[in-house]
Amino acid sequence: MPVPVSVLIVAADSGPSLRECVTRALASSVPVELIIVDNGSRDGVPQAIARAFENDGRVRVLYNHANLGFGSAANVAAHAARGDALLVLNPDCLLEPDSLARMLEVLRVQHGAGVVGAVVCDADGTPDPASRRRDPLLRRSLNALTGRDRREAEDPSREGINVPGPVPDAVVETENVSGALLLLPRNAFERLQGFDEGYFLHCEDLDLCRRARDAGYKVLLAGNVRVHHGKGGSSRHRPVFVSWHKHRGMWRWFRKFDPAARHPLTRMLVWCGIGAHFAWTAPSLWLRARRA
């Protein structure tokens, strides 16, 4: 039978937070089906969830038996889904009972809505600036890196990636929303052909939002919907691996969308800069992981 929303969760050694994520999603006031795609986890949590919900027709667990990357696994889940809308949900995000209903209402009343996000918050309720971001164009990235964006109010040419000021408690149009939870109509997701599987991890959400806007859809932030985000249960185990793919994702996004990438010299300098930044930060990430 069709359901209003299919909740799609990609797991990769996500740990105990995945259980609570599933429990919270199933407690939504809107009927859902929940599809977990496991990217070769070794923690046994997806298998335990499959056993716990084996008699619950709302829950399915699919196994890739290898880590295919976030976008590829999310596309697998979307292909198996039956919902009229798709909620791509991180395994460390905890929905409230009415979170999904309120996001669906935004899809219903906002003409042209293609992607709806919510405000992701840490444990004390502080909103993550990634809840609404601008495209990471080279000039914006340089402004953020050098601190020039701190004076954006005085000079718009100094704008950075993060939007300054408090997150509004209302529905606002923005360039990008957090990939921790993304709600899309099924037909929009299919028209966009899902996530770009050329990204392995990180920046595929920025890519999806950009392509949605280029296709004429609105990207909207439901500012009155706040969701706790545990920040990277999967990432803490392999910080260097995650950082490598984040840098690769930044390079792919730059080549696809930034007009500055058309210039060969600029493209070479950006490639060198991204590589140098990874080489500079990787040792400290490795040492921190060893101490932990």
Residue 231 has pLDDT above 70, yes or no: no
Q: Encoding tokens for residue 181? A: 């939870």
Calpha distance 97→87 (Å, rounded): 14
pLDDT of residue 237: 67
pLDDT digits (tens, 9 = 90+) for 86-145: 999 999 999 999 999 999 999 999 999 999 999 999 988 899 999 999 999 999 999 998
- Centroid of chain to Cα 265: 31
> For the chain, what is the mean pLDDT?
93
Q: Is pLDDT larger for residue 285 or for residue 122?
A: 122
What would the pLDDT profile of 143-163 be if each residue is shown by its tens digit? Answer: 998 999 999 988 988 999 999
Percent of the chain with pLDDT over 90: 83
Considering the four listed CATH numbers 3.40.50.970, 3.90.550.10, 3.90.190.20, 3.20.20.70, the one that applies to the domain covering 5-231 is 3.90.550.10
Q: What is the pLDDT of residue 77?
A: 97
Structure tokens belonging to residue 16: 């105990």
Question: How confident is the model at residue 289, as a pLDDT?
Answer: 76
pLDDT of residue 241: 87
Residue 261 has pLDDT above 70, yes or no: yes
| Residues 179, 89 contacting (CB under 8 angstroms) | no
How far is the C-alpha of 231 from the C-alpha of 101, rounded, in Å?
A: 23
Ranges of each domain in the chain: 5-231, 236-291
C-alpha 63: how far from its chain's center?
A: 21
Asked whether residue 232 carries a pLDDT value surpassing 60, the answer given is no
What count of other Cβ atoms lies within 10 Å of the Cβ of residue 265?
A: 7
Average pLDDT over residues 5-20: 95
Nearest to 252 by CA among 290, 174, 181, 196: 196
Residue 47 vs residues 93, 107, 230, 237, 248: alpha-carbon distances, Å: 20, 33, 22, 20, 31
CA–chain centroid gap for 31, Å, is: 23
CA of 255: how far to CAs of 136, 259, 271, in Å?
A: 12, 8, 10
pLDDT value for 211:
98
pLDDT of residue 236: 62
Q: What would the mean pLDDT of 194-212 be, rounded to a whole number?
A: 96
